[in-house]
Amino acid sequence: MAVQNMVERTLGRKPGYYHAETLADGVTGDPVVVPGLNGLPVTCTIIIVGTSGKVEFTTSSDAEVIADTADWQDWASGTVTADTSDALIGPVTAVRGVSVSGEVKFQVVI
C-alpha cells in the first residue's frame, strides 16, 4: 500500500490542496494524507462513472495510516449511486475513495 500526498495549490493568499484519481471497479484507493490546516474544511467528491462508490476517512495516527493499520469509517453519505460532494465534519488524517461497483472518480479539495 502506498500513501498519497495532496498537490498544493494557490487560492489567493490561503494555502490549499487538491487530489484526484480514477478507481476501477471494486478498487479501494490508497490513503491520501490530509495536511493539517487549522480546521479548513475537507471536501470530498465521488463522481459515478459506473454504479456506486463511497469515501472513507480515518482519524488514526499518521503512523497507523502508513502501516496500513488505520481504522476507516464511511463518510456520512455512505455508498452513493449519483455524483456526490460532502464536507467532512471535522479534522481527519487521511481519506480514500472506494469503488463499490464500476469505475468512480475520487476528488478531494481543501
Q: Is the pLDDT score of 90 beyond 90?
A: no
Collapsing DSSP to helix, strand or coil, 84 comes out as strand
Stretch 1-12: mean pLDDT, rounded? Answer: 73
Position with higher pLDDT, 14 vs 88? 88
For residue range 24-78, what is the model confidence (pLDDT) as tens digits?
Answer: 999 999 999 998 776 778 999 999 999 999 999 999 999 999 999 999 999 999 9
What pTM did the predictor assign? 0.90
For residue range 7-24, what is the model confidence (pLDDT) as tens digits?
Answer: 777 766 677 889 999 999
For residue 53, which of 32, 30, 22 has the smallest C-alpha distance? 22
Q: How far apart are CA 78 and CA 28, in angstroms?
A: 15
The predicted pLDDT at position 1 comes to 63
Element (H, E) at 53: strand 52-58
Q: Is the pLDDT score of 96 beyond 70?
A: yes
- Give me the percent of the chain exceeding a pLDDT of 70: 94
